[in-house]
Amino acid sequence: MDVVGVRELRQNASAVLRRVEAGERLRVSVNGREVAELAPLGRRTWLHYDEVADLFGHEADDSLRAESDQLDHGLRDPFASA
Protein backbone atom coordinates (compact mmCIF):
# COMPACT_ATOMS: atom_id res chain seq x y z
CA MET A 1 0.00 0.00 0.00
CA ASP A 2 1.44 3.38 -0.99
CA VAL A 3 2.07 6.02 1.64
CA VAL A 4 1.30 9.69 0.95
CA GLY A 5 2.76 12.39 3.14
CA VAL A 6 0.44 15.02 4.55
CA ARG A 7 2.28 17.73 2.60
CA GLU A 8 1.77 15.87 -0.69
CA LEU A 9 -1.88 15.30 0.22
CA ARG A 10 -2.34 19.00 0.93
CA GLN A 11 -0.62 20.06 -2.31
CA ASN A 12 -2.16 17.39 -4.56
CA ALA A 13 -5.47 16.54 -2.89
CA SER A 14 -7.39 16.19 -6.15
CA ALA A 15 -4.85 13.81 -7.69
CA VAL A 16 -4.64 11.71 -4.52
CA LEU A 17 -8.43 11.47 -4.29
CA ARG A 18 -8.66 10.46 -7.96
CA ARG A 19 -6.35 7.53 -7.14
CA VAL A 20 -8.59 6.55 -4.23
CA GLU A 21 -11.71 6.92 -6.35
CA ALA A 22 -10.11 4.56 -8.89
CA GLY A 23 -9.90 1.89 -6.18
CA GLU A 24 -6.51 2.45 -4.60
CA ARG A 25 -6.02 2.42 -0.82
CA LEU A 26 -3.45 4.89 0.48
CA ARG A 27 -1.94 5.54 3.90
CA VAL A 28 -1.30 9.09 5.06
CA SER A 29 1.81 9.90 7.08
CA VAL A 30 2.68 12.83 9.32
CA ASN A 31 6.37 13.29 10.13
CA GLY A 32 7.04 9.78 8.81
CA ARG A 33 4.36 8.20 11.04
CA GLU A 34 1.41 6.53 9.32
CA VAL A 35 -1.73 7.98 10.87
CA ALA A 36 -4.63 7.35 8.50
CA GLU A 37 -5.83 5.33 5.57
CA LEU A 38 -7.76 6.62 2.57
CA ALA A 39 -9.97 4.03 0.92
CA PRO A 40 -12.79 4.08 -1.60
CA LEU A 41 -16.28 4.04 -0.15
CA GLY A 42 -18.12 0.75 -0.32
CA ARG A 43 -21.06 0.16 -2.60
CA ARG A 44 -24.07 2.21 -1.64
CA THR A 45 -26.61 0.29 0.36
CA TRP A 46 -29.77 2.01 -0.87
CA LEU A 47 -31.01 1.38 -4.37
CA HIS A 48 -33.64 3.27 -6.30
CA TYR A 49 -36.92 1.35 -6.60
CA ASP A 50 -36.52 1.08 -10.39
CA GLU A 51 -33.35 -0.96 -9.80
CA VAL A 52 -35.15 -3.61 -7.74
CA ALA A 53 -38.76 -3.38 -8.95
CA ASP A 54 -38.55 -6.69 -10.81
CA LEU A 55 -37.84 -8.45 -7.50
CA PHE A 56 -41.26 -7.39 -6.21
CA GLY A 57 -43.27 -8.19 -9.31
CA HIS A 58 -43.81 -11.87 -8.44
CA GLU A 59 -46.30 -13.66 -6.22
CA ALA A 60 -45.00 -15.17 -3.00
CA ASP A 61 -44.74 -18.95 -2.95
CA ASP A 62 -47.33 -20.92 -0.99
CA SER A 63 -45.08 -21.72 1.99
CA LEU A 64 -44.24 -18.04 2.50
CA ARG A 65 -47.90 -17.10 2.19
CA ALA A 66 -48.83 -19.75 4.81
CA GLU A 67 -46.18 -18.45 7.23
CA SER A 68 -47.33 -14.88 6.68
CA ASP A 69 -50.93 -15.85 7.42
CA GLN A 70 -49.82 -17.21 10.81
CA LEU A 71 -48.24 -13.91 11.86
CA ASP A 72 -49.98 -11.43 14.12
CA HIS A 73 -50.42 -8.45 11.80
CA GLY A 74 -51.70 -6.10 14.49
CA LEU A 75 -49.69 -2.96 15.14
CA ARG A 76 -48.67 -2.22 18.70
CA ASP A 77 -46.68 0.59 20.25
CA PRO A 78 -43.58 -1.13 21.68
CA PHE A 79 -43.11 1.80 24.08
CA ALA A 80 -46.63 1.79 25.50
CA SER A 81 -46.79 0.89 29.18
CA ALA A 82 -48.14 -2.56 29.91
3-state secondary structure of 78: coil
Q: What is the pLDDT of residue 31?
A: 97
Predicted confidence pLDDT, tens digits, the chain (82 residues):
899 999 999 999 999 999 999 999 999 999 999 999 999 988 777 888 888 888 887 777 888 888 888 887 778 888 887 6
- Enumerate domains of the chain plus CATH numbers: 2-38 (3.40.1620.10)
3-state secondary structure of 39: coil
How big is the CA angle at 78 (ends 74 and 79), to the nearest 5 degrees?
A: 140
Q: Residue 54: what pLDDT? A: 82
Is-contact 31 7, C-beta < 8 A? no
Q: How high is the pLDDT of residue 82?
A: 61
State the Cα–Cα distance between residues 5 and 8, nearest whole angstrom: 5
Beta bridge partners of 4: 28
